Structure 1
Amino acid sequence: MSPEHGARRSQVVMVEPALTQLNKLTANETHRLDRAIVAISVNPELGTEVPGTLLRDYADEIDAVRVIYYVTALRTITIVAYIEA
């Protein structure tokens, strides 16, 4: 990776029920969630593994958000299954 380029981000896709919850968030909550999604897209290993599944659970106590997601095998797509903000 050349010095002028940052880490490669994965594409983020939200599925139900994440989309339903997203529609209920305020502008401030959406802004906080956006920061978490960007962090996860750059480093999908941020969350902790959910035992017995492919899911990862990322909780940011400072921004008060939680994202449950999984990453495709080539790490090019992050699929968000659940959000809290």
Structure 2
Amino acid sequence: MSPEHCARRSHVIMVEPALAQLAKLTASETHRLDRAIVAISVNPALGTEVPGTLLHDYTDEIDAVRGIYYVTALKTITMVTYVEA
């Protein structure tokens, strides 16, 4: 498929508190977190819907990462994602 016909991937922007927390992670934790963020940005329907809300819950058991996120009508994704201990 040519680039103009590929599915659009989300653009990820981190707010200042997230950047501060990211600086405290190890390289391995950062890599695990990045994989989850990319997975969600490529396929927002990946997680399971939280009953009674507009939220989705994504858990990667292998990398021990969890994300709670909301997809707007314009396909903007707002997420809180963290590395589980």
SS in 1 for 2:45: helix
RCO (CA 8 Å, sep 6+): is it higher in 1 or 2?
1
Offset at 1:53?
Answer: 1.4
SS in 2 for 1:66: strand
The gaps in structure 1 that reach 5 residues or longer are none
Amino acid at match of 1:31: H
Q: What RMSD over aligned residues (CA atoms) do the two structures have, in Å? A: 2.2
Amino acid at match of 1:81: V
Of all paired residues, the percent bearing the same amino acid is 70
The gaps in structure 2 that reach 5 residues or longer are none
Amino acid at match of 1:79: T
TM-score by length of 1: 0.76
Do residues 80 (structure 1) and 79 (structure 2) align?
yes
1:53 matched residue in structure 2: 53
- CA offsets, 1:18-70, max 9 Å, x none? x2653442211111110111111010000011111111110011111111111
Structure holding more strand per residue: 1
Q: How many aligned positions are there?
A: 81
Aligned mates of 2:41, 2:64 — CA distance in 1:
18
